[in-house]
Chain A
């Protein structure tokens, strides 16, 4: 049976292949990546695209959430101040209603309530980083303008009823704002109207007419607190969504790392095996390429 005299060529091809394998494994070790080309593992490469997309979206939401929380907290804090002011107005009005105050005291109460009304209007026009919080979608213009020519002053709402929401990666919708006319000048529950009426009631120095308006103010205060709850809910839901998304992002990052990272121990073992194979091949090639029968022939 004849043998291929050029079999050494095949051995040196094998040697080439071990060098290629060695280079690939060394690259894996130095970059830490199991897959540097999509052809090495197409399924993993495709999964990698999806995982990174999700992780990226989650991380972006976490950023947005913290900015949004800031806006919501400012809104909440403004409403909190409004509640404080209204409580003070109610306490003043109640005192005035019990008939113990004299005319000048009543006038004083009227002025203080007027001051509270102005403060509430100022809070209604809260501006956070260039954006008016209570104007609906008209965030660039002052929501409430006052015309002092009339008595009581005419308050005009310049905004609209638009409500913004943001959507979390899980599909949760979270309300971001409360239109001003739904809090401060709600039909039948108008805080401004109630305050204005009390100002007029006590300006004339008479006390009895303040009682129904004081009840109206109480009702308006309750209403404002109810509206405030919506914002508090949004803050809670945003915080919860944010931590759920952060948790998801961490899990997905772990999954992506496991998918793409090289198993260092495994790669090192393979590399060492390849090196032994290479040494063995070189020894064989060196040993086998020696001479032929011609060396033995005596001329």
Chain B
């Protein structure tokens, strides 16, 4: 039975619904610049009709709340791309610094350039060939050896310093990751207790925002659990967040480098290829830089041992036959040779230019030493070829990473655009919604006014006095 009372309560429910919709629209507009906000759309629900004597009487409409316009799959894809993209970015940044140590020489007198240093050293021996007893020419050999050793050990020192700097950055990021895990566990708890079966609106926004930040820092996988919980593991499978508990990553210093531990397991190697800024930094720290250092060590080792052997295979100015001494400090093993490379010979008379058993004016050992420049003394290559290959390998790595980085950044932008298209607040749309709900409210309040005067008439039972 449709009564005036029921009509009035129907319309006041409508007014409430319109108010709720206006509220949601205002909230959208307020958060229009918030990039991690997901716009909400009012959920209009027609109320259940009442059945009396077989006749259905409508009971109006309710707004049950805002529905966040969110695509979980899209957001997850975006977060995965962000992991890859940040890893690539931080690797690229580290490699750019690394390659700065080997900038191309623009002439034959470039200082600090290893290639130039190698050539100048062997040239000094070539010049000694014409006048083996000349003191200035012998001094020249020692000074070019010193320059070469300084160039190589200087670069090695630079690389070590960069490794330490990256190590520091890793520590900083671990702290940020730990803070985010705690925050995510909190939000998880709240979501699970407050809205286990449906999209949690603002809380979900916060969770997604935290996930996005986390994804940029470290490679993670996420799994939705029952009652809207989110389980987060590292890409290697170690648990970071589960329900309301966050597991912290701890650090340990092993041989001067930070190792990362989670739940008792060393996850450093896993994280290396896992993504996120940490992934990129660890790749640079544990692969790119050590590989370059190893090449420098090979170069230093080959040069030192070959040159020393050559000097000990001749006769010096003091008459030492076959044991004139070492020019460079003799390395025990390949690792660490570059950093420790130095010249130990101080007396130019100890340079063995003459062959074994020959007088001081003989130049055959100087010839032998000079010819090392064109012999395969470094891992099967001449010193110049070896250095040239080192340069091209490193350069190719940088180039490849740069290209990858650009492609990944573009794909992140694309996914971001798609996500924003769905979930961001469009002011024009909100403005027109506002108009619509405003009109709807006006119409409902107009109906209310009319119903009110009908009610007044009913109360007065036709007599137009007392109640108006």
Contacts and interface: CB of A to CB of B under 8 A. Distances in A.
Contact of A56 (B119, B363, B420): B119
B457 interface: no
Interface stretch (A130-138, A183-191, A266-274): A130-138
A164 B392 contact: no
A67 B131 contact: yes
A98 interface: no
Given A37-B398, A49-B384, A137-B354, 13 more contacts: A5-B32, A39-B95, A40-B399, A42-B394, A45-B395, A60-B126, A60-B127, A64-B126, A140-B133, A162-B361, A164-B132, A166-B126, A167-B370
A9 B397 CA distance: 30
A13 interface: yes
B145 to A, nearest CB: 16
A52 B391 contact: no
Given A55-B108, A61-B126, A64-B126, A46 B427 contact: no
Interface of B: 29, 32, 35, 95-96, 99-100, 102-108, 110, 115-116, 118-120, 122-123, 126-127, 129-133, 354, 358-364, 367, 370-371, 373, 384-385, 387-389, 391-399, 402, 413, 416-418, 420-422, 424-428, 430-432, 434-435
Contacts of A71: 130-131
Interface in A113-148: 129-132, 135-140
B293 to A, nearest CB: 17
B99 A294 contact: no
B420 A4 contact: yes
A52 B108 CA distance: 6
B398 A38 contact: yes
B395 A38 contact: yes
B358 A137 contact: yes
Closest 9 CB pairs of A and B: A42-B395, A139-B361, A39-B398, A137-B359, A46-B392, A38-B395, A292-B427, A293-B431, A137-B362
A56 B123 contact: yes
A39 B96 contact: yes
A292 B32 CA distance: 12
A53 B373 CA distance: 10
B104 A35 contact: yes
A53 B413 contact: no
A66 B107 CA distance: 23
A57 B388 contact: no
Contacts of A45: 104, 391-392, 395
B358 A162 contact: yes
A36 B434 contact: no
Nearest to A138: B359
A204 to B, nearest CB: 40
A139 B108 contact: no
A2 B426 contact: yes
Contacts of B370: 167
A136 B427 contact: no
A10 B354 contact: no
9 contacts: A36-B104, A38-B391, A42-B395, A56-B119, A67-B130, A137-B362, A162-B362, A260-B104, A296-B431
Contacts of B359: 135-140, 159-160, 162
B374 to A, nearest CB: 9
Contact of B108 (A59, A131, A138, A293): A59
Contacts of B115: 49, 52-53
B133 A130 contact: yes
A223 B35 CA distance: 99
A149 interface: no
Given A46-B392, A176-B130, A293-B427, A10 B413 contact: yes
A176 B35 CA distance: 81
B362 A164 contact: yes
A53 B391 CA distance: 14
Contact of A294 (B106, B130, B427): B427
A136 B361 contact: yes
A3 B29 CA distance: 17
Nearest to A160: B359
Contact of A50 (B106, B385, B428): B385
Nearest to B69: A2
Most buried by A among B95, B393, B399, B402: B399
A55 B32 CA distance: 64
Nearest to B102: A38
Given A52-B105, A139-B133, A38 B428 contact: no
A159 B233 CA distance: 83
Most buried by B among A59, A132, A164: A164
Contact of B431 (A56, A67, A294): A294
Given A56-B123, A167-B371, A4 B100 contact: no
Contacts of B424: 4-6
A167 B367 contact: yes
A262 to B, nearest CB: 11
A107 B156 CA distance: 79
B391 A49 contact: yes
A46 B384 contact: no
B158 to A, nearest CB: 15
A184 to B, nearest CB: 17
A151 B417 CA distance: 111
Contact of B413 (A5, A13, A59): A13
A61 B124 CA distance: 10
A298 to B, nearest CB: 10
A130 B135 CA distance: 11
Nearest to B370: A167
Contact of A292 (B102, B361, B431): B431
A167 B130 CA distance: 10
A37 B421 contact: no
Contacts of B435: 297
A9 to B, nearest CB: 8
B303 to A, nearest CB: 14
Contacts of B106: 33, 260
A189 B269 CA distance: 81
B279 to A, nearest CB: 20
A206 to B, nearest CB: 43
A73 interface: no
Contact of B426 (A5, A47, A138, A165): A5
A293 B107 contact: no
Contact of A43 (B122, B133, B392, B431): B392
B421 A4 contact: yes
Interface string A1-20: 01111110010010000000
A12 to B, nearest CB: 12
Contact of A53 (B103, B119, B422): B119
